[in-house]
Amino acid sequence: MDMQRIMLRGKLHQARVTHAELNYEGSCAIDQDLLDAVNIREYEQIDIYNIENGERFHTYAISGERGSKMISLNGAAARKAAVGDRIIICAYAPMSEQQIESYDPNLVYLDAGNNIVRTSKNIPLQLA
């Protein structure tokens, strides 16, 4: 039996919401440069975690204007965060035990202007 685990594939950490468009077709528009950096494809399912209010929800990514630094929550998702909120955007993928052995996620850390400040392949060990 080839068991699969759902593993973190990519993360945009502390992205800032730049737009909340209730009457736009639902999704999350993300600057194409940021999508490329984290290797998230347009229409891929993403999870969003709002640091400010604890909201956690699923939606899908759509391409935002390249170089715009846009993070736009659209449709129902616009009710889950306000412009300026810090969010974490994650994508996951099923992987076999064999794939996991040699896999590292794409971690992209952003500043308050949604500029990439660093990238990583692992999260540091949390100490007590």
Q: Give 11-62 pLDDT, tens digit per residue.
A: 999 999 999 999 998 799 999 999 999 999 999 999 999 999 999 999 999 9
Q: Is residue 1 scored above 80 in pLDDT? A: no
Mean pLDDT along residues 89-118: 96
Contact 6, 94 (CB under 8 A): yes
Q: Is residue 3 scored above 80 in pLDDT? A: yes
The verdict on whether 60 is a catalytic residue reads yes
Tell me whether residue 78 is annotated as binding.
no
Tell me whether residue 75 is annotated as binding.
yes
Q: Is residue 63 scored above 70 in pLDDT? A: yes
pTM: 0.94
The verdict on whether 68 is a catalytic residue reads no
Question: Which position among 24, 60, 92, 103 bears the catalytic label?
Answer: 60
Tell me whether residue 77 is annotated as binding.
yes
What integer pLDDT is reported at residue 7 of this predicted model? 97
What is the full DSSP assignment across the chain?
A: ---EEEEEEEEEEEEE--EEETTSPSEEEEEHHHHHHHT--TT-EEEEEETTT--EEEEEEEEEPTTS--EEEEGGGGGS--TT-EEEEEEEEEEEHHHHHT---EEEEE-TTS-EEEEESSPPPPP-
Q: Within 10 A of 17 (CB to CB), how many other CB atoms are there?
A: 24
What integer pLDDT is reported at residue 94 of this predicted model? 97
Tell me whether residue 67 is annotated as binding.
no
Contact 14, 88 (CB under 8 A): yes
Q: Report percent pLDDT > 90 for the chain.
A: 91
